[in-house]
Amino acid sequence: MLILNKIRSTIILAGCLSAWICQATPPAENHWKPAFPGAAKLAPLDGLTPQEEAFSVLDADGMTLGWVFRTDRLNPPVKGHISQIACLVSLSTNASIRNIKVLEHMETPLYFSKLRNDFFTQFKELPADTALPQLDTVTGATHSSTAIVRDVLEGIKRLIELPAVKARINSIKNPANPKP
């Protein structure tokens, strides 16, 4: 009986831990708010798998200003030289990339340090819902820079397929025919 109670307690604890881990964890405000002046809060996006998370950026009236996601929390995973690189991507409601910020990585510091600001600024204001131009990678950090490019583009592709995101982008791009 004692063994059964321990097993039952372990299962309950594992279930609670799993539910806690799977809750959407918004990125820190100082990482996303600079890309969205007037933003008040984040709201989890619907339509994702339980392992994925992305957020709508809302103003004080609840109007969507854009979206943010971590590249390591949207499918498909893209590995750099060592492991997946976690970037926070900010996307505006007209489907252009506002900002990309590296949050975590396990890449070799010597090589990763070659990714300078100009690598990341090439993404700014690119229209994410059309064919993107060839983006430059960085010599000496080829695996890492290629992984970031692929991860950002795949994450955006996944995000703009979501019905709520697609509808909001369409309402901005086609104001005469706003979608609900």
Quick check: 78 and 156 in contact, CB under 8 A? no
3-state helix, strand, coil in the chain (%, to 5): 40, 20, 40
Q: Has residue 112 been placed in a domain?
A: yes
Q: Has residue 166 been placed in a domain?
A: yes
Higher pLDDT among residues 91 and 149, named by residue = 91
**In which residue are the tokens 């929390």 written?**
73
Give SS3 for 56: strand
Question: 146-173, pLDDT tens digit by residue?
Answer: 888 888 888 999 999 999 999 999 888 7
Question: 34-88, pLDDT tens digit by residue?
Answer: 999 999 999 999 999 999 999 999 999 999 999 999 999 988 878 777 888 889 9
Asked whether the predicted pLDDT for residue 89 surpasses 90, the reply is yes
Domain count, the chain: 1
Q: Has residue 6 been placed in a domain?
A: no
| Type of residue numbered 49 | T
Quick check: 57 and 39 in contact, CB under 8 A? yes
Tokens of 116: 């300078």
**Residue ranges making up the domain that contains 56:** 43-173
Q: Has residue 159 been placed in a domain?
A: yes
Q: Has residue 14 been placed in a domain?
A: no
Quick check: 84 and 72 in contact, CB under 8 A? yes
Q: Has residue 2 been placed in a domain?
A: no
Give SS3 for 22: coil
Q: Has residue 164 been placed in a domain?
A: yes
Model pLDDT, residue 129: 65
Q: Has residue 56 been placed in a domain?
A: yes
84 torsion bin: left (phi>0), alpha (psi -120 to 50), beta (else): beta
Q: Find all residues with CB under 8 Å of 66, minimum gap 6, and list them.
A: 35, 36, 56, 57, 90, 91, 92, 93, 98
Question: 104-145, pLDDT tens digit by residue?
Answer: 887 788 888 888 888 888 888 878 766 666 776 777 677 788
How many Å apart are CA 54 and CA 46, to the nearest integer? 9
- Band of residue 1 on the pLDDT scale cut at 50, 70, 90: low
Asked whether the predicted pLDDT for residue 99 surpasses 80, the reply is yes
